[in-house]
């Protein structure tokens, strides 16, 4: 994305070619991500917010509640805000041994020092993302209800996301993906993420169908203004129905 590229240009240029290790504008090295591992269990995606203090407290609470991976997602903020928030969450998550994955942009993943990137249909090419980020980065790909898309990127992606499984309040117009896709994907030996309308009442259905992890926004973070205690409790409620 051009806007993001400009915002992170100086930082991206500071990273070694093919590396997703970044530095700040002042040259300060950013901490490395935790060791790469398949995503399992509860995978939270952040809601749109310009409130850095709330965002940090909310993500810390979600991790305390059992989150195993965090995806930074903000569709409304400008590139400068997204880079600031991504760096903030990278430090918070990686200090707790939880990978931070950036939505949409390889440039932003590099600039923030994130553990990887998650890419949709209109984002950067997953093959190019792997080339730029290297083998130690996490590359996730949204496959919607398209098994053929999963087959196309399975060789380069660490995880493949299918959804919306149950209808999404975040994306009410999103295409619905049948649970049977998760079963087919699991049979191929892929790391599978189920997304879309997942909450404590149905997360187990996604796991039983074949998902290794469930991606959640609203069921954990609510409307994006809740107290940390409520977010931790909500995360625990979803985590409780998932395999240990």
Q: What is the pLDDT of residues 180-215, one digit of tens each?
A: 999 999 999 999 999 999 999 999 999 999 999 999
Mean pLDDT of 126-141: 98
Per-residue model confidence (pLDDT) at position 116: 98
Nearest to 59 by CA among 232, 200, 223: 232
Asked whether residue 22 is assigned to any structural domain, the reply reads: no
Residue 50 CB neighbour total at 10 angstroms? 12
The DSSP 8-state label assigned to residue 176 in this structure reads P
For the chain, the domain total comes to 1
Please indicate whether residue 244 is annotated as part of the active site: no
**Residue 9 reports pLDDT greater than 80:** no
Q: Residues 120, 122, 126, 127: what is their CA dihedral angle, to the nearest 10 degrees?
A: 160
Per-residue model confidence (pLDDT) at position 5: 41
Which one is catalytic: 91, 149, 171, 186? 171
| CATH code assigned at 147 | 3.20.20.70
Asked whether residue 210 is assigned to any structural domain, the reply reads: yes
Asked whether residue 6 is assigned to any structural domain, the reply reads: yes
Asked whether residue 33 is assigned to any structural domain, the reply reads: no
Mean pLDDT of 28-55: 93
Q: Express as a percent the part of the chain with pLDDT over 70.
A: 87
Asked whether residue 20 is assigned to any structural domain, the reply reads: no
Please indicate whether residue 73 is annotated as part of the active site: yes
Please indicate whether residue 19 is annotated as part of the active site: no
Which one is catalytic: 73, 82, 87, 236? 73
Asked whether residue 164 is assigned to any structural domain, the reply reads: yes
Exposed e or buried b for every residue in 128-165, given b needs 16+ CB within 10 A?
Answer: ebbebbeeebbbbbbbbeebebbeebbeebbbbbbbbb
Average pLDDT, rounded, for the chain: 90
pTM across the whole model: 0.89
Asked whether residue 24 is assigned to any structural domain, the reply reads: no
The residue range of the domain holding 48 is 2-10+39-240
Structure tokens at 96: 């707790």
Asked whether residue 65 is assigned to any structural domain, the reply reads: yes
Which one is catalytic: 68, 105, 112, 142? 142
Q: What is the pLDDT of residues 44-86, one digit of tens each?
A: 999 999 999 999 999 999 999 999 999 999 999 999 999 999 9
């Amino acid at each position: 994305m051009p806007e993001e590229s400009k915002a992170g240009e100086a930082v991206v240029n500071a990273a070694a070619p093919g590396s997703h290790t970044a530095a700040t504008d002042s040259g300060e090295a950013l901490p490395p991500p935790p060791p790469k591992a398949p995503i399992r269990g509860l995978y939270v995606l952040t809601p749109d917010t310009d409130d850095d203090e709330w965002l940090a407290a909310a993500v810390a609470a979600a991790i305390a509640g059992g989150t195993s991976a965090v995806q930074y997602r903000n569709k409304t903020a400008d590139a400068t805000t997204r880079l600031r928030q991504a760096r903030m969450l990278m430090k918070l998550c990686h200090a707790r041994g939880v990978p931070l994955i950036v939505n949409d942009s390889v440039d932003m993943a590099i600039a923030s020092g994130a553990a990887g990137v998650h890419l949709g249909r209109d984002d950067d090419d997953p093959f190019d993302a792997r080339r730029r980020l290297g083998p130690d980065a996490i590359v996730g790909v949204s496959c919607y209800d398209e098994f053929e898309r999963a087959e196309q990127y399975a060789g380069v992606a660490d995880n493949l996301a299918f959804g919306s499984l149950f209808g999404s309040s975040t994306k009410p117009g999103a295409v619905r993906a049948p649970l049977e896709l998760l079963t087919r994907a699991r049979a191929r030996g892929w790391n599978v993420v189920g997304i879309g309308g997942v909450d404590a009442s149905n997360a187990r259905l996604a796991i039983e169908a074949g998902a290794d992890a469930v991606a959640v926004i609203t069921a954990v973070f609510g409307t994006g203004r809740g107290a940390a205690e409520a977010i931790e409790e909500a995360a625990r409620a979803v985590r409780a129905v998932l395999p240990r």
